[in-house]
Chain A
Amino acid sequence: MGIAASIGTSIKRREDPRLITGQGTYVDDIKLSGMLHMAVLRSPYGHARINSINTEAAKKHPGVKAVYTAEDFSDIGTVAVAVPLGEIANGMGLHGPLAGGKVRFYGDPVAVVIAHDRYVARDARDLIEVDYEPLPAAIDIEEAMKPGAPLLYEEFGTNVAFGMHPPTDEIDKVFAQTLADGGIVVKQRIVNQRLAPNSMETRGVVADYNKSSKTLTVWASSQNPHILRNILAALIGHPQHQVHVIVPEVGGGFGSKIDIYPEEMIAAVAARKLGKPVKWIEDRSENIAVTVHGRDQVDYVEVAATREGKVTGMKVHGISDLGAYCQLFTDVIMIAFGFPVSCGAYDIKNIHLSADIVFTNKAPTDAYRGAGRPEATYITERAIDLVARELGKDPAEVRRLNFIQPNQFPYKSAAGAVYDTGNYEVALDRALSMAGYQSLRAEQAQKRAEGKLMGIGLSSYIEICGFGPKGSAPIGLYESARIRVEQSGTVMLYTGSSPHGQGEETTFAQIVADEFSISPDQVMVMHGDTDSTPEGRGTYGSRTTAVGGTAAYTAAVKLREKMKQIASHLLEASPSDVTLEDGKFSVAGSPQKSVSFADVAATANTSNTLHPSIEPGLETTVFWEPEACTFPFGTHISVVEIDKETGHVELTRMIAVDDCGRQINPMIVEGQVHGGLAQGIGQALIEGVIYGNDGQLLTATLMDYAMPLSSELPSFELDSTVTPTTVNPLGVKGVGEAGTIGSTPAVANAVIDALGVAHFDMPFTSERVWKAIHQK
């Protein structure tokens, strides 16, 4: 019986047995002897001056070990920023672990209490007295840009950290020519509201310091253990080799656990100061208040098109709301991750992109599932619908007319990105056929005649995955893999990637198993420990399979070639004649002459008579850095019905055809799409972080911040096309964010179609939709 290829099969996840029985270990499940608990006192104001802090009563409270304020951390560095743009490079928006002098958003940490018990830590936190002098807050981003707005950083005289305003002469000519030729120009202001990532497990950290070895061990709920370790060591001034980061089970991240946060720095320093383990677990209200938010952009789009609907040019001015501080990628989300895909799936020859990035008295924004691409895609997909509406054309046909054609790849977009592969029309047609598009339109016409509101929305998105590429970021965005083939023939894979729900313990085993012609059960996948895994960049940006999977593949290929060498000596054949199939190395042409994978593994690891040219052992470490990014794509179609009396939007159908290249495990791919769709639909219909004008957070719990529930979503209708990428040998593109990127504009286009208006901003809550209907 041969060993069937594992890639492409939906094997069940090996992660699951521990998780379905309650045996998984998340950060809060870690209990160390003598462990202390930390509680954080946070600003109740959006913007205020701190006149004084009195910690005396808290310090005297029984069970309290320490109370710290900003002055206790004056020697600790500021929260890391990857690419400081504009004034940020001059220090604007940088912050230490605790606020001193001023608080700049609701939840800004002011002091911490460390006590023997988490209840006691909270009791004592309530005893700290802070004298605040409230200040006017800059909340509305466009107001915050105006002269006279309250300033977060007075010394800079503005809230605008960076502006990018290239000359418009070229695009103006294109627009003028289009109009002269009888075409159209459509303009729209589009708001992409602020969201809370809300992973079900909040953030958390346990830090332990060993005085003898001077080793700091940090367990953290993180998406990137090595980056956390490297930055933490630098910020708190601890030798890098004496910082050990362990990322245990992580209950979701969605981008919010990429950042290195104040609490991780504080817990580490406190553990070192006190010589005791310190645990901090964020509660949900803290999570919504202080863990990075996503989106929050105001965009002005102008699009020019011919009478036929061919887009001739697009102008986008994006204003990105940074919140109060700059975190790791806060300032570059829109410009670096969104702008490059501004042309979407369309052959738009002329585009003009300008930007302002602005500080406001709100939580910092940063990567949230899609990070920049959802915002850019939303603009483009709304723009296409605006053109279709203006010209009275079918939005599906306007998309088709503008698609980049298969023979144009690799395609250099006017927005700068080079797309690897794509076949957009096939995905569109598949989605249209699944939807029964023509009959849906007929049904819609009939319902309209009956006075009912039904809408159909399309989105033919593209996205960028597989970051890299080489040379694009301040540090190399490679991934790594260390593989050891043990003497028994079982395999250990240590990956620098850090999966946290995406199932790579399973899919990476599939990749490696196929290269070794063994069963995935024989491959153990280890991750999340900086002492045992090679340096990696972490799991985000839908890059793990494309980059980390390729590193694992490359390491396996390298060892397989070495094993062929050893097998060739055992078989007395030339290495080039040796093949590996069905778990056996054999000589081409004489299959009876063979030696098993396990026997070669044993020989490599134990023999004392290996050929002098062969180093003993079977272990290798590979770093793989992509030369280019991948560009998944697809078409999503949403169908909605709106109750005129209540404004309630019911999403009746959600069709998604996605192309993420080759699929390692279709079951897991489908799961990623499902989850992404739910998050994208959540943004369109119900989600939103809301602040009062004074900077108060009005959505601080899950009672006020709406998350999609099971009863609010339909069963999704999925299919996929497969257009492998050419930028990695596996042909995989990435799928983690596609659902989120594609679905939001599809739902929005459906609601706007139902309402029969040019544009309406998200979220489409009953209240907002009811007002829109009844104010018409």
Chain B
Amino acid sequence: MFAYIIRKVGTILTMKREITVTVNGEQHHSQVEPRMLLVHYLREELDLTGTHIGCDTSQCGACVVHLNGEAVKSCTVLAVQADGCNVTTIEGMATEGNLHPLQEGFWEKHGLQCGFCTPGMIMASAQLLKNNPNPTEAEIRKALEGNICRCTGYQNIVRAVQFAAEQMRTSATEPVGAGE
């Protein structure tokens, strides 16, 4: 009986649906199982493996991407929920060969060691800086408590975000053409 139910439910969950998702500016039409997680869709269907999976329970934040501009844990979103949406992943953060200020910050301030949590950290930090361009250390620490890093002790991640915030404020206040 148990096996029968599993098979029945399985059949429903494995009937593929069509979705259209724009990822890092590129539109994709795909057939996916309704149960497929967004993170698996990005990693396995689109080969965007920069988004990582670190836990099963939405604690670690290694899988954070932006869905219509808002940070989400892509292990807790189904691919079908992203139908018609814009997704930005770590691969979409550097534009025209220039690193995003957060990427610069993580490099400059030694904000990563093994690098596994880093994409999620950068995507979560980007959300913070969008909402709060001038965060205090406490605000940074609070904003990143949904992202776990086992290597750095977070101190250099805080410094990386401060570095990026400073860069982004400076470039935002610079008149167009300055520095040319």
Contacts and interface: CB of A to CB of B under 8 A. Distances in A.
Contact of A199 (B119, B141, B150): B150
A702 B106 contact: no
A249 interface: yes
Contact of A17 (B107, B122, B156): B107
Interface stretch (B55-63, B79-87, B165-173): B55-63
Contacts of A57: 3
Given A21-B93, A123-B10, A200-B60, A674 B152 contact: yes
Contact of A21 (B53, B62, B91, B148): B91
A20 B49 CA distance: 12
A28 interface: yes
Nearest to B155: A674
Nearest to B44: A31
A28 B148 CA distance: 19
A20 B54 contact: no
Given A251-B52, A501-B151, A123 B6 contact: yes
B48 interface: yes
Contacts of B36: 119
Contacts of B48: 22
A288 to B, nearest CB: 9
Contact of A24 (B44, B54, B115, B157): B115
Contact of A127 (B6, B107, B149): B6
Given A200-B54, A678-B154, A21 B59 contact: no
Contacts of A202: 54
B49 A29 contact: yes
B70 interface: no
B155 A716 contact: yes
B12 interface: no
A171 B155 CA distance: 45
Nearest to B104: A20
Given A123-B10, A249-B115, A701-B57, A22 B90 contact: yes
A501 B113 contact: yes
A57 B10 CA distance: 14
Interface string A656-678: 00000000000110111011111
A484 interface: no
A710 B150 contact: no
Given A16-B112, A21-B99, A119 B150 contact: no
Contact of B110 (A201, A284, A671, A703): A671
A713 B144 CA distance: 12
Interface residues of A, number: 63
A709 interface: yes
Contacts of A715: 137, 155, 158
Contacts of A670: 110
Given A200-B62, A675-B152, A703-B59, A710 B157 contact: yes
A15 interface: yes
A702 B60 contact: yes
A433 interface: no
Interface string B124-168: 000000000000011011101101111111111110000000000
Given A284-B54, A500-B114, A701 B153 contact: no
A701 B113 contact: no
B117 interface: yes
A199 B152 contact: no
Interface in A235-291: 249-252, 254, 283-285
Question: Which of B117, B148, B151, B158: most chain A CB closer than 10 A?
Answer: B151
B103 interface: yes
A15 B158 CA distance: 20
B50 A21 contact: yes
A698 interface: no
Contact of B145 (A12, A677, A710): A710
B54 A13 contact: no
A12 B107 contact: yes
Contact of B54 (A119, A201, A503, A677): A201
A701 B57 CA distance: 7
B112 A20 contact: yes
Given A29-B49, A716-B155, A22 B6 contact: no
Nearest to A665: B110
A501 B114 contact: yes
A200 B114 contact: yes
A19 B155 contact: no
B51 interface: yes
Contacts of B18: none
Contacts of A249: 114-116
A603 interface: no
Nearest to B139: A711
A666 to B, nearest CB: 10
B155 to A, nearest CB: 5
B57 A703 contact: yes
Interface string B72-105: 0000000000000000011101100001000100
Nearest to A369: B150
B91 A283 contact: no
A200 B149 contact: yes
B115 A501 contact: yes
Interface in A678-721: 678-679, 701-703, 707-713, 715-716
A24 B122 CA distance: 15
Interface string A375-400: 00000000000000000000000000
Contact of B57 (A284, A668, A716): A284
A200 B148 CA distance: 8
Contact of A675 (B51, B57, B90, B113): B113
B114 A710 contact: no
B145 to A, nearest CB: 4
Contacts of B157: 710
A411 interface: no
B115 A16 contact: yes
Contacts of A676: 153
Contacts of A716: 153, 155
Given A678-B154, A710-B140, A715-B137, A503 B113 contact: yes
Interface string A22-37: 1111101101000000
A198 interface: yes
A542 interface: no
A78 interface: no
A200 B116 contact: yes
A126 interface: yes
A95 to B, nearest CB: 26
Contacts of B6: 123, 126-127
Contacts of A12: 107-108, 110
Nearest to A503: B113
A502 interface: yes
B16 interface: no
Contacts of B89: 22
A123 B11 CA distance: 11
B12 to A, nearest CB: 12
Question: Which of B103, B114, B145, B152: most chain A CB closer than 10 A?
Answer: B114
Given A31-B47, A123-B6, A716-B155, A711 B141 contact: yes
A13 B157 CA distance: 15
Interface in B38-52: 43-44, 47-52
B150 A679 contact: yes
Nearest to B160: A20
A252 B51 CA distance: 16
21 contacts: A13-B107, A19-B112, A20-B118, A26-B49, A26-B52, A26-B116, A29-B49, A31-B47, A119-B33, A200-B151, A501-B113, A501-B114, A667-B110, A674-B154, A675-B152, A675-B153, A678-B152, A701-B56, A707-B148, A710-B145, A711-B145
Given A200-B116, A254-B150, A501-B113, 8 more contacts: A22-B48, A22-B91, A31-B47, A501-B115, A667-B110, A678-B153, A702-B148, A710-B157
